[in-house]
Every structure is written in C-alpha cells, then in structure tokens.
Amino acid sequence: MGKEIRTAKRSVPEGHFIRCPQCKATVFKKDAESRFNVCPECSHHFYLPARDRIHQLLDADSFEEWFADLRPRDPLQFSDRVLYSERLQAEQKKTGMPDAAVVGRGYIRGRPVVLGITDFAFMAGSMGSVVGEKLTRATEEATRMLLPLILVSGSGGGARMQEGILSLMQMAKVSAALARFDQAGGLYVSVLTNPTMGGVAASFALQGDLTVAEPGALIGFAGKRTIKNTVRLELPEGFQTSEFLFQHGFIDRIIHRKDLRTEIARIIDNCER
C-alpha cells in the first residue's frame, strides 16, 4: 500500500471515498484498497501505482530494485505546452519516481522472477529512453540469470514523443532483447493493465509467451477515433477491451487482480522445463 494513499486517508473527509467510473457507486477508499484497489461493487480495477503492484505481486520485502539511478534527459530540448525538462521535474515530484518504469528482481510465492512495471501516473506510462533502457536491461538480466520475466504494462501514452526517435527506437531495442531472451529459452509473461496503448502495445506488451490482462483494460494501438477516421467503418462495441481481445484470441487469459500472484506462480510452474 502506497504511502501517499495512507496519508490521504488521514486527511480531509472527501479523501475517504472514491467514485467508481464503471458502476458510479461511491465506495469507501479503504474497502477498495483492501480488495487490491478493485471496486467492491462491480470489480472495476482502479489504477494501481507501481509500488503497490510490487507489494501485491511479490513476496513481502523480496523486491530488489535495479537501475534506479537512470534519469531521463532532454537531448532535443523539446517544448510543447511546457518544456520537457520542466514536465519531467513536475512528474518526478508528483510520482516520486525518476521515470515511468520500475524493474528488479523478486519472488512470487517463492519463485524468483525479474519484474518490470510501467506506471501510468508518470507521463501516462509512456516509453522514453529510460523506460526502454530499464526494460531492456531487465530482459538481459533475466536472460543471463535464466529467470522468468514478468512485465506489467500500464501505458496509455505509447512512445514518448518528447524524445522523438530516441523514444521510438526503444520499441526495437526492447523487442530485440526479448527475442534473445526467447532464443535462450526464457519465459516471458506479459500482464496488460488499463491502459496499454501505442508503442508499448506495439512492442514488448504484446510479445509475451503468455499474454494475460486484467478485466476491463483498454488495450490497443491507435485510439478509437483515429482508427475510425482512417478506416471509415463502424467499429465493434468495446473492441479494445480485455474481454473483446480475449474472445478474439489476441490475449490468452483475463485474470482478476486478486488472483494474479497465484496465477503467475502457476504459469511459471507449468512452463518450467
């Protein structure tokens, strides 16, 4: 459980409640938190920060973070509404993270794994050079140590346009590392959470040996409006959801957040050579 959530609980009374975007119920924040940050009324999966994800997935205190010293740069001195360098500082302050990815080693019910997570809170979880580099190094470490690799995606932004080509090349870089991991016989389980879009979906998130998703996650490449304007066709209802993609064979399983830890452990056992 994140520090900021606990702090929020102690503060103003409104902080005690959250409104579920799916069933519109007003739910006790504490009730949702005690259910893995899932709506107690309708099982809507709320956003989960990377730190809480680690806590939920891994055995207590088993996480050893890697490459925590990597920091983003601004080689293009990019500016949209604000300077990229200023945006980075604001995001770092807001999230307490240097960039959108956390990687490292830990244990899932006693099984050693390499874990990587992209966190939506930091610039929509978009993949810049730090995210790409961390995931690539994590994959290379998993290859070297021959450990299962678990990557949890929560990226609505895809590639981070503020880093231009340096961001786009991460897609190829991570993919190449994953291909070498695959050739070495490694097991890669990709866990898709809400949302997994753009260059993240177009690279590592959809290259798993097994691709599982949380219920109701938005998963796709381009947004609905963009596709509609391009192909000029009516698109099926909910075509970018976990459920639709599961029905059409694009993902292997939908797993409720409360079961992820057990099910990933089971997948590892079933795939052990």
Would you say 136 or 241 has its CB closer to Zn ion? 241
What residues pair up with 106 in beta bridges, in sequence order?
A: 113
Would you say 32 or 58 has its CB closer to Zn ion? 32
> DSSP characters for 65-121?
EE-TT-----TT--BSSSBHHHHHHHHHHHHS-SSSEEEEEEEETTEEEEEEEE-TT
In this structure, how many other beta carbons lie within 10 angstroms of the beta carbon of residue 70?
16
State in angstroms the smallest separation of the CB of 45 from Zn ion. Answer: 10
Site membership for Zn ion, residue 42 (CB under 5 A): yes
The span of 43-51, 78-86, 191-199, 225-233 binding Zn ion (CB under 5 A) equals 43-51
String marking each residue 209-248 x if it binds Zn ion according to CB under 5 A: ----------------------------------------
Of 171, 85, 104, 74, nearest in space to 132 by CA: 171
Would you say 26 or 262 has its CB closer to Zn ion? 26
Would you say 20 or 149 has its CB closer to Zn ion? 20
Angle 50-57/260-271 helices, nearest 10 degrees?
60
Q: Using the rule CB under 5 A, which residue among 3, 7, 22, 259 binds Zn ion?
A: 22
String marking each residue 157-196 x if it binds Zn ion according to CB under 5 A: ----------------------------------------
State in angstroms the smallest separation of the CB of 93 from Zn ion. Answer: 31
Residue type at position 207: Q
Site membership for Zn ion, residue 39 (CB under 5 A): yes
Terminal Cα-to-Cα distance of the chain (whole angstroms): 35
Q: Using the rule CB under 5 A, which residue among 7, 23, 86, 259 binds Zn ion?
A: 23
| Helix, strand, coil distribution of the chain in percent, nearest 5 | 45, 20, 35
Q: Using CA atoms, how far apart are residues 35 and 45, in angstroms rounded to an integer?
A: 10
Binding residues (CB under 5 A) for Zn ion: these are 20, 22-23, 39, 41-42, 44
